[in-house]
Amino acid sequence: MTARPIPANDGAASPPETADAAALWQEALLCLSLFAVDPGLGLRLAARAGPVRQQALKNLRASLPPGEAWRKLPAGASPAALTGGLDLAASLAAGRPIAEKGLIAASDGGVIVAAMAERMADDAAGLLALALDRGTVPIERDGLSAELPARIGVLALDEGMEEDEAPPHALCERLGLWLSLDGADPRGSAGGHLDAAAIAAARDRLMAVRPDEAGLETICQAAMAFGIVSLRAPHLALRAACASAALAGRHLPGETDIETAIRLVLLPRATTLPGMPQDGNEDDLSAARDEEDGNDATRNEPPQDDVRDRAEETETGEIAPQDETLIEAADAGLPADLLKRLAAMARSRQMPAGGGRKGAFAGRARRGRAIGTRPGDPRRDRLDLVATLRAAAPWQTIRRRERSGRQTDVLPRPLEIRAADIQVRRHRGKAETATIFAVDASGSAALARLAEAKGAVERILAECYVRRDRVALAAFRGTRADVLLPETRSLTRAKRCLAALPAGGGTPLASGILAALDLAKASAREGRTPLIALLTDGRANISLAGAAGRPQAMEDARMAAAAVRASGIAALVIDLAQRPSEAAREIAAAMGASYLALPRADSQALAELVAAAPRGALASRAIARP
C-alpha cells in the first residue's frame, strides 16, 4: 500500500475555514524550516502547482544561504544528466576528455528540486537514493570513472493525484518530511515567512544537538504503532526532531520536538493507527482515509462531463442508474476509489511472466518516455544522435589516422561514425488497465442480491470510464462459466450484457474464477495490467467437472483461487452473501485478493474506532470525520 502525505484537511468538499487554513500554513512553514535547517532530511511536498506552492518554495529558497545550490530536476531527466559524463563539445575541441558534472554532483551542498516527482523514472530515483545514502555520486560513463561528493537535499514536488501516481518508492523512502499543502493558505496569517537568521543559527547548532534514549524510544515506538516497516523512517524522524530542537535553541530534543517529528515524518507514512484492530483491517482504514481525501467529488459526479468523446458520452448516459436505492446500496459497500487502489495493488504486485521489470510497462514499447539508450539498430528503434556522437567521439583521432593511411579515401570527412557507435533510445510505454468482472449469477444467494451486484458493477464501470480502462465480463451459473463480453472499451456493451444476465442454478465458482483468469492472462499478454473483480457469495456447489457436491466444488474453487494468486494478478472479491461469509473470505485469501462485503456493516464501527484513537492534532483533522 502506498501511503500518501495526509492532506491537511477535508479538501475540496468544503471551503476551508480561514483560521484553519492559516494554521495549516503555519504547519507547512514549520516543516519547510526543518528542511532548511537540515536539507539532508528530504522533503516530499504534495501540492498542485499554484500560488500556495509557489509561495512555499519562495519562502524556503529565501531562507537558505544564498551561495547554496538550488537546482531543478525535470521529470524526464536521464541518468546521464544526473551523473554527468563526457562533455562532448569540450572534449572534441580540446582533444582530451573533459568531464561534465551531472546535476547531482553540481548540487553538492545544496538542494535538488525534483519537478513532477510522481513521473520520475526508477533509475533516476535510484541514483538520487544512492547519493542520499552515500553522500557521493559515482560516474561510470563514457569512459569516465570517478566518485564526486554529493551531499544533497532532495525536495520532491509531488503532483500525483492518485494512489498509483506517486514518486518512486526508493526515493520517498529516503525523504523524511512528507508535507501536503492541501487547504493551506498563506493569506491572513501574520509572520508567514521563514526566519533566515534563525535557520542559520539552527544550522550552526545542529551538530551539537543530541537526542536522548527516551526520545529515541518514543520515536521507534510510534513508528511501530503506525505500522511503519522501514527503519529509515524512525531514523529520519530522529533527525527531524534534532532539527526542530536546533531551531528552538535546544541541545536536547524535547517533547515538542519529538511530537513535531512524529507528526511530520511518521504520521504521513502510517499504515495503521494505534487502537485499530491489527487483523488486516488496513484496507478499511485507508478507505476511511481516502474518503477524507476529498475524492468524494469524483464519486458524486457522473462521468458525463467528459467532452473528449461525444459518442461515448451519450453512451454512458445510459449507465445512469435505473434504480436509485439499488445503486445506493452498492455505493455504500464500495469505497469511492476502489479501482485506483486496485491499480496501485496491481502495480506493486508482479506479473511473473513479464520478467524483471514493472508489470505495468510494455516490454519493447517504441513510444512513451525515453528511459535510456543502448547500442542498437536505428531501423528498429529510434536513433539517439547525441549518444551516438558521444560513443563515436573517442575514436575520431584513431579513425582519422587510419584513414589517412589509405590512398583510396579522398572524401573529406569531418566526423566518422561507424555502425558500432549507433545508440538507440529505449522507451517505456504506460500500459492500459483492464478490469475483468466475474459475476456469480447462481441461484444460491446471488439471486437475492444480483440486482445490487449489478449496481456495484455499474459503479465500477463508471469509474473505468473515467480512467479509460478496458473491461471484460464473465458470468457463472448452472454448471459452467461463460465469457459474456471479451475485453472491450465499450462500456455500453458491458452494461447491456449485464442487464440481460439471467440468474439461477448452481454455483460453479471454480469455472468462474478460471474463466476470469484466462481473460486476465490474455490481457496481460497484450501488455495490459489486468485486475480481476469477483462478485460471489463463495458458496461453490458445482465442481470444475460440472458435478454437484459442495466439498469437491469448494476444493476446486480453492485451487482455482490459488492459481490466480500464483499468476500475480491483482484481484478483488466482493462478497454477495447477506452477511459477510466465511466462504467468500476464504476464497479471497486463497486468491491473495482484497475482500469487501457488500454492503459493509462495519463502516460506522470503524469511524468510531478511528475517532476514539489518540493522536496528534493534524491526524484528527485528517482522519476523523465529524
Partner 1 sequence: MRLAFPFAAIVGQDQMKLALSIAAVDPAIGGVLVFGDRGTGKSTAVRALAAVLPEIEAASCPYRCDPARPDEACETCRGKPKSRRGKARVPVPVVDLPLGATEDRIAGSLDLERALSAGEKRFEPGLLARANRGFLYIDEINLLEDHLVDLLLDVAASGENVVEREGLSVRHPARFVLVGSGNPEEGELRPQLLDRFGLSVEVKTPTDLATRIEVVKRRDAFERDPAGFTARFEAENDAVRGAILAARERLANVAVPDETLEKAAQLSIRLGTDGLRGELTLMRAARALAALQGGAEVGWPHLAELAPLALSHRLRRDPLDEAGSATRVTRAVGELAAA
Residues 530-569 that bind partner 1 (CB under 8 A): 559, 562-563, 565-567
Angstrom distance (rounded) from CA 293 to CA 285: 13
Would you say the C-alpha torsion 536, 539, 544, 548 has a positive or negative sign? negative
With CB under 8 A as the contact rule, the residue among 75, 116, 216, 497 that binds partner 1 is: 216
Closer by beta carbon to partner 1, 562 or else 607: 562
Residue 541 near residue 507 (C-beta atoms within 8 A): yes
Closer by beta carbon to partner 1, 302 or else 372: 372
Q: Which whole-number Å values give the CA distances from 568 to 348, 457, 461, 586, in the listed order? A: 10, 23, 23, 18
Question: Measured from the CB of residue 347, what is the shortest distance to partner 1 in angstroms?
Answer: 9
Residues 589-618 that bind partner 1 (CB under 8 A): 590
Question: Measured from the CB of residue 438, what is the shortest distance to partner 1 in angstroms?
Answer: 18
Angstrom distance (rounded) from CA 119 to CA 273: 29
Q: Count other C-beta atoms under 10 Å from residue 61's C-beta.
A: 17
Binding of residue 415 to partner 1 (CB under 8 A) = no
Between helix 582-591 and helix 509-525 the angle, nearest 10°, is 30
CA dihedral of residues 544, 550, 551, 556 (deg, nearest 10): 20
Question: Measured from the CB of residue 550, what is the shortest distance to partner 1 in angstroms?
Answer: 20
Closer by beta carbon to partner 1, 81 or else 607: 81
Question: Measured from the CB of residue 568, what is the shortest distance to partner 1 in angstroms?
Answer: 8
Binding of residue 136 to partner 1 (CB under 8 A) = yes
Residue 61 near residue 220 (C-beta atoms within 8 A): no
Residue 409 near residue 403 (C-beta atoms within 8 A): yes
Question: Measured from the CB of residue 520, what is the shortest distance to partner 1 in angstroms?
Answer: 14
Question: Measured from the CB of residue 494, what is the shortest distance to partner 1 in angstroms?
Answer: 29
Closer by beta carbon to partner 1, 473 or else 588: 588
Residues 151-180 that bind partner 1 (CB under 8 A): 169-170, 173
# binding residues, partner 1 (CB under 8 A): 78
Stretch touching partner 1 by CB under 8 A, among 212-220, 316-324, 431-439, 534-542: 212-220
Between helix 18-37 and helix 232-248 the angle, nearest 10°, is 100
Angstrom distance (rounded) from CA 244 to CA 250: 9
Q: Count other C-beta atoms under 10 Å from residue 101's C-beta.
A: 17
Stretch touching partner 1 by CB under 8 A, among 27-35, 83-91, 303-311, 610-618: 83-91
Stretch touching partner 1 by CB under 8 A, among 136-144, 251-259, 271-279, 313-321: 136-144
With CB under 8 A as the contact rule, the residue among 193, 201, 321, 395 that binds partner 1 is: 395
With CB under 8 A as the contact rule, the residue among 89, 90, 231, 386 that binds partner 1 is: 231
Question: Measured from the CB of residue 529, what is the shortest distance to partner 1 in angstroms?
Answer: 13
Binding of residue 286 to partner 1 (CB under 8 A) = no
Task: Look up residue 434 and give its amino acid.
Answer: A
Binding of residue 378 to partner 1 (CB under 8 A) = no
Cell digits for 50?
499554484
Which residues have C-beta within 8 Å of that of residue 520, sequence separation ≥ 6? 434, 436, 530, 531, 532, 564, 567, 569
With CB under 8 A as the contact rule, the residue among 33, 91, 435, 529 that binds partner 1 is: 91
Which residues have C-beta within 8 Å of that of residue 233, sequence separation ≥ 6? 176, 223, 265, 266, 269
Binding of residue 393 to partner 1 (CB under 8 A) = yes
Binding of residue 501 to partner 1 (CB under 8 A) = no
